[in-house]
C-alpha cells in the first residue's frame, strides 16, 4: 500500500498549526516540533522521489506521489483533491521547510501573542506547501488565497508604524491579481473543454486552444502571477510590506510568497499555454529586463536596509522571469535554482536587517557605521548574505545567476549585456552598504549594543551553511529540477 | 609576502585550464544534469581565451624586460611614453571613472528613479485609490429610495446584459474563435 505522503504532510501541518494556535505559552515549542516533523517528512519525500537522482523519463509529464480523490462532482463540473510533485515543486517545498524552521527559531523570543504569531507563520507555510503540490485549479486557488490571510495579519498586527497601510496595500494588490488569475484559470479550464479541473486534463486540452485565446489567457495569468513576483510596475506593494512586516513576515514574504508567482507562471501558464507563451515572449523579456534594471537601480538609492533588500528582490525575481521567458530547459532550470537561492539569501538578509534593528534601534544605513567590532557575528552574517546576493562564486546565487546568464546568451546573444551590466550595480550597492555599515569609524552604536542572541545567530548560521553547501554543490538541486516536466516545454 | 603571491599566481595560471578538462562541468551540474548541458567551446571562446592568455604572457614579458634580474627602469622625462606612465600611475583612471560613473552618474539616476517610483508609479496607485473613493461616494447617491429610479436601473441593466450576450459576445467569439 502506497503511503499518501503529501496528504500526510498537509494533515500534519494543519494539526501543527491548530496545535500552535491553542498551545498558549508552549506555542513556540509546538511550532518547533511541527516544523521539525515537516522537515523530516520533506526529507522522506526527497529520498522517496522516483526522479532522484537524475532525470527519469517515466515522470514526464507526470508527477510523483500523486493522489487524486473526487471532491465536487456534478455533470458539468469535476473538482478533485489532486496533488503531486515534480522536480520544481520538490525544490520549492524544501525551501518552504527550511524557511519555516529558520523563521520559528529566529522568532523564538516573540512576546506579542506568540501563539497567534507562530500559528500564522505555520499557516503561511501550509498555504505555500499546498500551492506547490496542488494539481487542481480550485485546490491551487484555495491554497493560494490561504497564504494571503495569515500574511495580512502578520504584517498588519506585528508590523511597524505604517503596518495597516502596508498590510492593506499588500492585500489589495495581491487579491486583485488573484481574481484576474482565477478568471484566467477558470477560462482556461472551461474554454479548453477539459474533462475536469485537474492539471493533467487542462494540460492535455488547453495546449490545443487557438493562439489568440491562449494569448489572452496567458496575459491574464501573467498579470495574476506577475504581481506576486513582483514585476514592474506592479511592485510598489513589496517595499512597503517588507519595511513594515516583522522580520519573520519579511522572511516568508521574500523567501516564499514571491516564489509562488514564479512557480504558478511555470506550472499553470508556460506549460499549459505554449502558443500564448511564444506570442507574449517579447513582453516577458521586456518586463524582465525592466524589472532587473529598476530593482537594482532603486536599491542603490535606499537608506533603509530592508528596503534595499526588498528592491534587490525585484531585481533577482526579474532574472527569474528572464529565465522563465527564455522557455529553454537551461533557462527554466536557472529560474528555479535562482528562486531557491534567492529564498535562502533574502531570508538571511532580512533576518540580518531585523537583527540590526534590534541591536541599533534603526535600519537606516547612514545612521550606523563601523559595527563589526561590536557585533562581529552579525557583521559576518551580513557580509555572507551580501556577497551571496551579489553572486560571489562558491555561494548559492552564483551557479543560479551563471546558468541564467548562460541561458540568456544561448537564446538572446548580446542582450545578456543588460543583466550582466546590472550585476555591477548590484555588486555596487551591496559593497557600498557593507562599506558604510560594517567598516569605518563606529557611528550610532548604543552603549548596550551586543551581538546577536543564540536563536537569531543559529537560524542565520543554518542559512549560511545551505548557501555554501548548494553554492559548491548546486548539482544536488539541479538534478532534481531537471527531473521534471520542464523538458516538455516549448523551445527545449 | 612573496609566497602567497606565488601561490595565487600559480592558481591564476593553472586554474583556468580546468575549464578545458572533461568533467569540469560536473562541479556545477553533477550526474545526469551535466549530460543535459554539454560543454561547447566555439571560435569565440577560443579567441577570447587566446587573447587573455596572450595579454597575460605579454605583460609578464614586458615586466621582465623592464625590471627582470633586479634592473631599475626609469622613464626619461622627455619620453613620449610619459602619458602611458601617468595612465598607469593613475591606475587607468578607474577611480576617477568610478567616482564619475558610479557615484555621480548611476547614483543620481537611482535617486531620480526612486523619486519616480515613490511619486509617479505609487502616486498613480494612490490616484486610483482616490478615484475609486470618489466614484463610490458618488455612486452611493444613486440609492435615492425612489422606486421608479430603481426600476430604471433594472431596465438599463437588462439592456446592457442583452447587448453583451447577444451582440458583443457572439461578435468576439466569431472574431477570435474557439479551441
| Per-residue 3-state assignment (H helix, E strand, C coil) for chain B | CHHHHHHHHHHHHHHHHHHHCCCHHHHCCCCHHHHHCCCCCCHHHHHHHHHHHHHHHHHHHHHHHHHHHHCCCCCCCCCCCHHHHHHHHCHHHHHHHHHHHHHHHHHHHHHHHHHHHHHHHHHHHHHHHHHHHHHHHHHHHHCCCCHHHHHHHHHHHHHHHHHHHHHHHHHHHHHHCCC
The rounded distance, in Å, linking the Cα atoms of A299 and A137 is 36
> Confidence class of residue B30 from pLDDT cuts 50, 70 and 90?
low
User: Is the peptide bond preceding residue A230 cis, with omega within 30 degrees of 0?
Assistant: yes
| Residue carrying the nine cell digits 549560511 | A464
Asked whether residue B164 is domain-assigned, the answer is yes
User: Which of A54, A192, A279, A301 is the best substitution to test chain B (most B C-beta atoms within 10 A)?
Assistant: A301
Render each residue's pLDDT in chain A as its tens digit; 492 residues.
Answer: 578 899 999 999 999 999 999 998 899 999 999 999 999 999 999 888 876 544 444 544 568 888 888 888 887 788 889 999 988 999 999 999 999 999 999 999 999 999 999 999 999 999 999 999 999 999 999 999 999 999 999 999 999 999 999 999 999 999 999 999 999 999 999 888 888 888 888 988 888 899 999 999 999 999 999 999 999 899 999 999 999 999 999 999 999 999 999 999 999 999 889 999 999 999 999 999 999 999 999 999 999 999 999 999 999 999 999 999 998 888 999 999 999 999 999 999 999 999 999 999 999 999 999 999 999 999 999 999 999 999 999 999 999 999 999 999 999 989 999 999 999 889 989 998 999 999 989 988 888 888 999 999 999 999 999 999 999 999 888 888 887 765 555 444
Please check whether residues B133 and B165 belong to one and the same domain.
Answer: no
| B113 lies within 8 A of chain A by CB | yes
A176 burial (CB, 10 Å; 0-12 / 13-18 / 19+) is: middle
Asked whether residue B1 is domain-assigned, the answer is no
- State the DSSP H helix or E strand holding residue A30, giving kind and residue range, or none if neither: helix A27-48
Boundaries of domain holding A370: 5-488
Asked whether residue B20 is domain-assigned, the answer is no
> Confidence class of residue B178 from pLDDT cuts 50, 70 and 90?
low
Please check whether residues B110 and B162 belong to one and the same domain.
Answer: no
| B99 lies within 8 A of chain A by CB | no
Which chain B residues are Cβ-neighbours of A308 within 8 angstroms? none
The pLDDT assigned to A371 comes to: 93
| A407 lies within 8 A of chain B by CB | no
The rounded distance, in Å, linking the Cα atoms of A193 and A206 is 8
The rounded distance, in Å, linking the Cα atoms of A464 and A383 is 11
Structural domains counted in chain B: 2
Contact assignment for A478 to B29 by CB distance below 8 Å: yes
Q: What are the pLDDT digits (tens) for B52-88?
A: 889 989 998 988 888 888 888 788 888 888 898 899 8
Question: What count of other Cβ atoms lies within 10 Å of the Cβ of residue A469?
Answer: 12
Contact assignment for A301 to B176 by CB distance below 8 Å: no
Identify the closest residue of chain A to B39 by CA–CA distance: A406
Tell me how far apart the 2 most distant CA atoms of chain A are, in Å.
74
Check: CB of residue A135 under 8 Å from CB of residue A200. yes
| A223 lies within 8 A of chain B by CB | no
Q: Which residue has the higher pLDDT, A434 or B178?
A: A434
Structural domains counted in chain A: 1
Please check whether residues B131 and B100 belong to one and the same domain.
Answer: yes
Please check whether residues B166 and B153 belong to one and the same domain.
Answer: yes
Q: Which residue has the higher pLDDT, A219 or B38?
A: A219
ipTM comes to 0.84
Asked whether residue B62 is domain-assigned, the answer is no
The rounded distance, in Å, linking the Cα atoms of A57 and A51 is 8
The pLDDT assigned to A53 comes to: 47
Please check whether residues B88 and B133 belong to one and the same domain.
Answer: yes
Of A234, A236, A243, which Cα lies nearest the Cα of A155? Answer: A243
Nearest by CB to residue B33, choosing from A299, A302, A482, is A482
**pLDDT surpassing 60 at residue B32:** no
Identify the closest residue of chain B to A173 by CA–CA distance: B125
Q: Reduced to 3 states, what is the DSSP secondary structure of residue A307?
A: helix
Across chain B, mean pLDDT equals: 81
Contact assignment for B114 to A301 by CB distance below 8 Å: yes
Boundaries of domain holding B125: 83-143
**pLDDT surpassing 70 at residue B45:** yes
Question: What count of other Cβ atoms lies within 10 Å of the Cβ of residue B132?
Answer: 11
The pLDDT assigned to A60 comes to: 44
| B76 lies within 8 A of chain A by CB | no
Contact assignment for B33 to A329 by CB distance below 8 Å: no
User: Apex CA A420: angle with CA A308 and CA B89, to 5°?
Assistant: 95
Amino acid at each position: 500500500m502506497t503511503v499518501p505522503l503529501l496528504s500526510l504532510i498537509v494533515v500534519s501541518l494543519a494539526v501543527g498549526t491548530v496545535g500552535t494556535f491553542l498551545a498558549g505559552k508552549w506555542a513556540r515549542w509546538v511550532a518547533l516540533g511541527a516544523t521539525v516533523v515537516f522537515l523530516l517528512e520533506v526529507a522522506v519525500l526527497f529520498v522517496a522521489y522516483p526522479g532522484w537522482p537524475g532525470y527519469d523519463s517515466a515522470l514526464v509529464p507526470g508527477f510523483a506521489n500523486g493522489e487524486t480523490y473526487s471532491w465536487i462532482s456534478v455533470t458539468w463540473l469535476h473538482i478533485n483533491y489532486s496533488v503531486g510533485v515534480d522536480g520544481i515543486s520538490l525544490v520549492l517545498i524544501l525551501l518552504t521547510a527550511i524557511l519555516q524552521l529558520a523563521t520559528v527559531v529566529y522568532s523564538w523570543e516573540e512576546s506579542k501573542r506568540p501563539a497567534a504569531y507562530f500559528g500564522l507563520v505555520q499557516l503561511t507555510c501550509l498555504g505555500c506547501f499546498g500551492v506547490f503540490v496542488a494539481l487542481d485549479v480550485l485546490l491551487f486557488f484555495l491554497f493560494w488565497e490561504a497564504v494571503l490571510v495569515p500574511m495580512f495579519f502578520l504584517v498588519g498586527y506585528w508590523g511597524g508604524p505604517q503596518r495597516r497601510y502596508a498590510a492593506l496595500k499588500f492585500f489589495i494588490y495581491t487579491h486583485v491579481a488573484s481574481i484576474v488569475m482565477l478568471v484566467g484559470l477558470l477560462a482556461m479550464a472551461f474554454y479548453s473543454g477539459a474533462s475536469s479541473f485537474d492539471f493533467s486534463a487542462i494540460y492535455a486540452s488547453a495546449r490545443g486552444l487557438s493562439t489568440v485565446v491562449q494569448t489572452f489567457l496567458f496575459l491574464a495569468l501573467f498579470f495574476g502571477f506577475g504581481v506576486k513576483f513582483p514585476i514592474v510596475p506592479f511592485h510598489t506593494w513589496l517595499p512597503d510590506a517588507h519595511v513594515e512586516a516583522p522580520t519573520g513576515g519579511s522572511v516568508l514574504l521574500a523567501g516564499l510568497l514571491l516564489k509562488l508567482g514564479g512557480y504558478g507562471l511555470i506550472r499553470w501558464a508556460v506549460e499549459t499555454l505554449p502558443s500564448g507563451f511564444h506570442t507574449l515572449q517579447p513582453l516577458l523579456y521586456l518586463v524582465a529586463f525592466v524589472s532587473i534594471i529598476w530593482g537594482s537601480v532603486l536599491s542603490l538609492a535606499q537608506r533603509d536596509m530592508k528596503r534595499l533588500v526588498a528592491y534587490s528582490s525585484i531585481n533577482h525575481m526579474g532574472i527569474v522571469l528572464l529565465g522563465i521567458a527564455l522557455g529553454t530547459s537551461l533557462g527554466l532550470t536557472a529560474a528555479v535554482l535562482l528562486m531557491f537561492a534567492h529564498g535562502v539569501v533574502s531570508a538571511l538578509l532580512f533576518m540580518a536587517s531585523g537583527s540590526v534593528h534590534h541591536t541599533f534601534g534603526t535600519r537606516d544605513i547612514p545612521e550606523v557605521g563601523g559595527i563589526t567590532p561590536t557585533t562581529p557575528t552579525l557583521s559576518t552574517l551580513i557580509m555572507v548574505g551580501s556577497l551571496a546576493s551579489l553572486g560571489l562564486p562558491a555561494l548559492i546565487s552564483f551557479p543560479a545567476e551563471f546558468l541564467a546568464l548562460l541561458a540568456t546568451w544561448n537564446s538572446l546573444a548580446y542582450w545578456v549585456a543588460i543583466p550582466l551590466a546590472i550585476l555591477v550595480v548590484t555588486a555596487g550597492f551591496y559593497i557600498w552598504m557593507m562599506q558604510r555599515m560594517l567598516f569605518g569609524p563606529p557611528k550610532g552604536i548604543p552603549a548596550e549594543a551586543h551581538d546577536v542572541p543564540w536563536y537569531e545567530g543559529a537560524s542565520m548560521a543554518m542559512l549560511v551553511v545551505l548557501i555554501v553547501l548548494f553554492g559548491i554543490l548546486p548539482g544536488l538541486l539541479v538534478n532534481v529540477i531537471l527531473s521534471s516536466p520542464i523538458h516538455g516545454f516549448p523551445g527545449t | 609576502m612573496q609566497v602567497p603571491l606565488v601561490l595565487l599566481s600559480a592558481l591564476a595560471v593553472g586554474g583556468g585550464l580546468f575549464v578545458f578538462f572533461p568533467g569540469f562541468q560536473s562541479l556545477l551540474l553533477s550526474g545526469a544534469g551535466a549530460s543535459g548541458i554539454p560543454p561547447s567551446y566555439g571560435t569565440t571562446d577560443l579567441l577570447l581565451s587566446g587573447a587573455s592568455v596572450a595579454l597575460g604572457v605579454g605583460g609578464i614579458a614586458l615586466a621582465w624586460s623592464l625590471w627582470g634580474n633586479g634592473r631599475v627602469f626609469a622613464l626619461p622625462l622627455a619620453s613620449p611614453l610619459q602619458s602611458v606612465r601617468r595612465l598607469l600611475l593613475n591606475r587607468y583612471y578607474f577611480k576617477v571613472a568610478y567616482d564619475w560613473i558610479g557615484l555621480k552618474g548611476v547614483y543620481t539616476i537611482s535617486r531620480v528613479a526612486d523619486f519616480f517610483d515613490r511619486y509617479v508609479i505609487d502616486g498613480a496607485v494612490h490616484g486610483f485609490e482616490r478615484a475609486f473613493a470618489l466614484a463610490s461616494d458618488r455612486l452611493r447617491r444613486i440609492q435615492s429610495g425612489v422606486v421608479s429610479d430603481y426600476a430604471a436601473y433594472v431596465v438599463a441593466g437588462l439592456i446592457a446584459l442583452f447587448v453583451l450576450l447577444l451582440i458583443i459576445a457572439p461578435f468576439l467569439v466569431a472574431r477570435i474563435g474557439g479551441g
